[in-house]
Amino acid sequence: MKFSANLGFLWTDRPLPDAIRAAHAAGFDAVECHWPYDTPAEATRAALAETGLRMLGLNTVRGNPGENGLSALPGREADARQAIDQAVAYATAIDCGAIHVMAGFAQGPEAHATFLANLRYARAQAPEQITLVIEPLNRHDAPGYFLQTTDQAAAIIAELDLPGVRLMFDCYHVGRTEGDITTRFTALKPLIGHVQFASVPDRAAPDHGEVNYAYVFDRIAAEGWDRPLGAEYKPGGDTDATLGWLVAYRA
């Protein structure tokens, strides 16, 4: 099993290049992030080259304070497409594998149509080698977020019918909203572009809580998934002190 460190939550006390180095030292196979834009792409690319790690994914920006993405917001198309252009440019510069196109807080048919239009724009702008992912967020952490379930995301992907638009399957969000994580993974596997995880319900390291990740990881591996799983959890302090789960899997 391979693992990716999500540097949006892990080693946030360090500049992004140093966080990449810390992930390498800890034994991660790859990295991913949220919003790297304050770090020059050249510095990020240099740290990736130095460590031999690949950046698997990054997010489009949230928008204004209190927002959580722009691409499903009617009337904000110009802002959403500026965010997409920014993400495409940065991802291209660092050879990043995927862009998470954040939908934002919106509901209804107009929001649905806006999201589809912006995803079509993103697919037209992004190079073929960059995957676009969309991610349902659970209703407890992100009430009112446009994408709320994996079924909704799957329907959007089917309606778009575009190459390289896939589902971000976050075990934490699925666990909090839908449950039945391994059954959902098996059913949705053909649509999945990336997998993330954290303990349920507190979104901390995956060594406690309602979800038995030893079982989940074994089932995911049994399905033939061989790409890194993204550790997107909140360490609540020193990241290195929370990595017992990674040491155990490496052993």
Q: Which residues neighbour 155 within 8 Å (Cβ) at sequence distance 6 or greater?
A: none
| Residues belonging to the active site | 135, 232
Q: Which residues neighbour 213 within 8 Å (Cβ) at sequence distance 6 or greater?
A: 171, 197, 199, 206, 207, 245
Angle between helix 109-125 and 77-94 (nearest 10): 30
Task: Give the tokens for residue 140.
Answer: 């407890």
Angle between helix 181-188 and 150-160 (nearest 10): 10
Task: Give the tokens for residue 138.
Answer: 């659970």
